[in-house]
């Protein structure tokens, strides 16, 4: 699933490529929005909100999408055709005045709303670690309080709950827990140091967007992650085999990795 930094990089690329472009014809392949026509409107901006992507027009319309595991957005040059297998998965096509086509493929979540009503699709999200709303300590404090309110829920699940804090995906949540020596199964309400963890996460996410090193938490060419995807391999700090629990054996339904020595239980 796309993480907050991936969505922010995508929004920046799409904004640079299409902001200011005029849509001459639109094709929205969604039962609820099939009659929407954006022709004649100009793309104003692309903006990320957590893992959500918002495209705004000067007509006061927002095209909202969430990529999850399968979605993508691309800008096709004039005359470019998608392979039939990919073309069958197009959910929205925006034909631009310069001959290019902006296509959203395999989008599991697609909504068209008035820009003034964006809160209907992203208003439930917690403070966005990549948004201007978390530049101050107050918003981090809000996120900390929301995570703590998860009570007995595992801290890894609380960090992945976008209603509590937006932008962390499975990789970032687990890597941050390792870096801050927190066992992923500890009750969220009993974890100290969530504030420094989220502040650190915010800085790392911004760096990942700005420097575009990819999702690299170790700073090494290989391995790129401390625990994520490294089941049974030696911990890079202490040598203990990395523990792993498959998604089907977790209450939050996500694969989980941790070092039993560096992230002790209790």
Which of 122, 149, 165 terminates a domain? The answer is: 122
Residue 112 and residue 32 in one domain: yes
Residue 55 inside a domain? The answer is yes
Residue 152 and residue 113 in one domain: no
Residue 79 inside a domain? The answer is yes
Distance CA(83)–CA(19), nearest Å, equals 26
Residue 27 and residue 48 in one domain: yes
Distance CA(84)–CA(181), nearest Å, equals 48
Number of domains the chain is built from = 2
Residue 118 and residue 138 in one domain: no
Residue 222's CATH number: 1.10.8.50
Residue 207 inside a domain? The answer is yes
- 205, pLDDT greater than 60: yes
pLDDT at 194: 97
Residue 189 and residue 234 in one domain: yes
Segments forming the whole domain that contains residue 239: 132-258
Residue 194 and residue 230 in one domain: yes
Residue 107 inside a domain? The answer is yes
Q: For the chain, what is the radius of gyration of the CA atoms?
A: 20
Q: Helix or strand or coil: residue 133?
A: helix
230-250 pLDDT tens trace = 999 999 999 999 999 999 999
Give the Å distances, CA to CA, from 120 to 32, 54, 56, 114, 180: 15, 12, 15, 10, 35
Residue 101 inside a domain? The answer is yes
Residue 76's CATH number: 3.20.190.10
Which of 97, 122, 147 terminates a domain? The answer is: 122
Question: For a pLDDT cut of 90, what percent of the chain falls above it?
Answer: 88
Distance CA(155)–CA(25), nearest Å, equals 46
- Is 75:17 a contact under the CB 8 Å cutoff? yes
Give pTM, 2 decimals: 0.89
Residue 116 and residue 140 in one domain: no
Q: Helix or strand or coil: residue 115?
A: helix
Which of 69, 97, 122 terminates a domain? The answer is: 122
- 140, pLDDT greater than 70: yes
- 126, pLDDT greater than 80: yes
- 130, pLDDT greater than 80: yes
Residue 39 and residue 76 in one domain: yes
Residue 127 inside a domain? The answer is no
Signed CA dihedral, 121, 124, 126, 127: sign only: positive
Strands 61-66 and 72-76: unpaired
- State the number of CA atoms in the 13 A half-sphere of 120 facing the CB: 11
- Is 225:171 a contact under the CB 8 Å cutoff? yes
Residue 31 and residue 116 in one domain: yes
Helical segments of the chain, H only: 4-18, 84-87, 119-122, 137-148, 155-160, 170-179, 194-211
- 71, pLDDT greater than 70: yes
Residue 18 and residue 80 in one domain: yes
pLDDT at 136: 56
- 131, pLDDT greater than 90: no
Residue 115 and residue 161 in one domain: no
Distance CA(164)–CA(142), nearest Å, equals 9
pLDDT at 1: 53
Residue 248 and residue 136 in one domain: yes
Residue 266 inside a domain? The answer is no
Strands 101-105 and 109-114: unpaired
- State the number of CA atoms in the 13 A half-sphere of 221 facing the CB: 0
Residue 194 inside a domain? The answer is yes
Q: Helix or strand or coil: residue 209?
A: helix
């Amino acid at each position: 699933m796309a993480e907050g930094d991936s969505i922010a990089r995508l929004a920046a690329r799409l904004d640079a490529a299409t902001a200011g472009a005029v849509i001459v014809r639109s094709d929205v392949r969604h039962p609820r929005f099939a009659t929407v026509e954006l022709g004649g409107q100009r793309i104003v901006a692309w903006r990320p909100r957590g893992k959500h992507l918002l495209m705004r027009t000067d007509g006061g319309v927002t095209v909202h999408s969430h990529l999850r595991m399968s979605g993508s957005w691309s800008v096709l040059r004039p005359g470019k055709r998608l392979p039939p297998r990919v073309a069958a998965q197009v959910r929205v096509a925006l034909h631009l005045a310069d001959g290019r086509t902006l296509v959203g493929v395999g989008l599991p979540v697609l909504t068209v709303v008035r820009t003034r009503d964006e809160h209907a699709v992203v208003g439930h999200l917690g403070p966005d670690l990549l948004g201007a709303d978390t530049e101050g300590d107050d918003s981090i404090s809000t996120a900390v309080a929301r995570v703590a309110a998860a009570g007995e829920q595992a801290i890894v699940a609380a960090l992945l709950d976008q209603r509590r804090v937006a932008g962390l995906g499975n990789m970032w949540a687990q890597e941050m827990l390792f870096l801050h020596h927190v066992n992923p199964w500890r009750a969220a309400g009993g974890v100290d140091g969530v504030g420094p963890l989220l502040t650190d996460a915010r800085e790392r996410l911004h760096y990942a967007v700005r420097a575009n090193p990819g999702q690299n938490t170790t700073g090494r060419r290989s391995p790129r992650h401390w625990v994520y995807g490294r089941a049974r391999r030696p911990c890079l700090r202490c040598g203990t085999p990395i523990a792993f629990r498959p998604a089907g054996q977790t209450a939050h339904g996500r694969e989980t990795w941790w070092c039993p020595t560096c992230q002790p239980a209790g």
